[in-house]
Structure 1
């Protein structure tokens, strides 16, 4: 059960914190929230966020009235999540439970029957995506939703090229690994590959989106009006080919098969 995040946690924590405040992080979260809202039925839901890290997704879901279990193996990330929760009103804090552990062990740690299971930005760090997705699928109730965000293997050369890292872009095209990237080398997946693994685990893919088509190489967050326009552009392009095929990330929404 290899996990490159835990092997490089100290180096990744600082980069993760920066990422959530820069433009790619903001766009990522807005687009994830919009897609989840589009598919999740109205009303409070039971949610588990596998690899939920510092709690950005979990806190947002709790603010919306959902009961959330945040599962993560990294104690430093869970400490960040606890600090974030401490700044929230009591009714939001009470809706979030923090659990330490790996996603592959999730059914034993947090049970099942969840209306929504989030697995965002985790596949790139694990050696066996099939094992993780089987565990993630087992958490959902029959008819429950799965939200899986992964790095797009079809576009890994886009970021280094747009940043002017020409030799890194060439190496990435040849190897499929973003060598010389910002933190550690991570693996990427395809929409078809992840959709196939979910189907094999008992979940039917319902829709998929591309995230960060035009913004992955940018950093500064614009004013609110411009940010709204930018996110609308990303949303529209992320729902259609060929644009979503060159997005940095892809987001698959699936539904667990009936019992």
Structure 2
């Protein structure tokens, strides 16, 4: 996902809003490139973690800034304004019963004439892949026609069909630039490392995530859109 962001966020895109950015790991990486990044998150505990981490990393941020704002993504424009060069929403839709209100807000927050919206969501078209590859056919069969599951964190989460998310974003003025699959071959390994040659596995994941049919069976899809 970081590689994809580096492709689609050229140096001129300086103002970045990270909705549901949590502890700020992705936001700090972008701030370290000299960008002005705002993290909007409803969880004060996560924002506290982000503040502590940023205090340690601020000195090496190459002039970038990080602002932390508490609040829900559906209220983003009211809380932090609009005309953002890029709006990120990674790993948030899966915890919402209804995603359209947030997707509409992404379109309202990003600037016209080339603003970028980046969405990372759980792939409903491949929900059974992980349990099947883990050797749990009953679990795989239970979710193969579903959009919800109880993951390893014990929290119920929702998957989305990429076509539905694209359609919703289109209704709010956003056009798809590119999409990627994330975690194609190694998702079922859990916390186990894929082996000694991690760099090769990462390269394989990146290569597969850019092309069909591999990206269709990835655990997550990363959708990059623009507002023309």
Interval of TM-score (by shorter of Structure 1 and Structure 2): over 0.9
Distance apart, 1:220 and its partner CA: 3.2
Matched, 1:68 2:37: yes
| Alignment root-mean-square deviation, CA | 1.8
Distance 1:220 1:163 in 2: 12
Matched, 1:109 2:79: yes
Which of 220, 223, 228 in structure 1 is aligned with 2:192?
Answer: 220
8 Å contact kept, 1:210–1:249: yes
**1:244 aligns to what SS in structure 2?**
helix
Unaligned residue ranges in structure 1 (runs of 5+): 1-31
Q: 1:230 matched to which residue of 2?
A: 201
Distance apart, 1:132 and its partner CA: 0.3
After TM superposition, the score normalised by the length of structure 1 is 0.82
Q: 2:216 matched to which residue of 1?
A: 245
8 Å contact kept, 1:168–1:178: no
Distance apart, 1:74 and its partner CA: 0.4
Task: Give CA deviations for 1:172-208 in whole Å, capped at 9, x if unaligned.
Answer: 1143333464421211111111111110011111110
8 Å contact kept, 2:104–2:169: yes
Unaligned residue ranges in structure 2 (runs of 5+): none
Distance 1:89 1:221 in 2: 30
Q: 2:129 matched to which residue of 1?
A: 158
Give the number of aligned pairs.
225
Task: Give CA deviations for 1:135-166 in whole Å, capped at 9, x if unaligned.
Answer: 11111111200000000000111111222233
After TM superposition, the score normalised by the length of structure 2 is 0.93
**1:229 aligns to what SS in structure 2?**
helix
Distance 1:190 1:38 in 2: 24
Greater fraction helix: 1
Give the ranges of 4+ consecutive aligned residues of structure 1 lying more than 4 Å apart after TM superposition.
none
Distance apart, 1:222 and its partner CA: 5.9
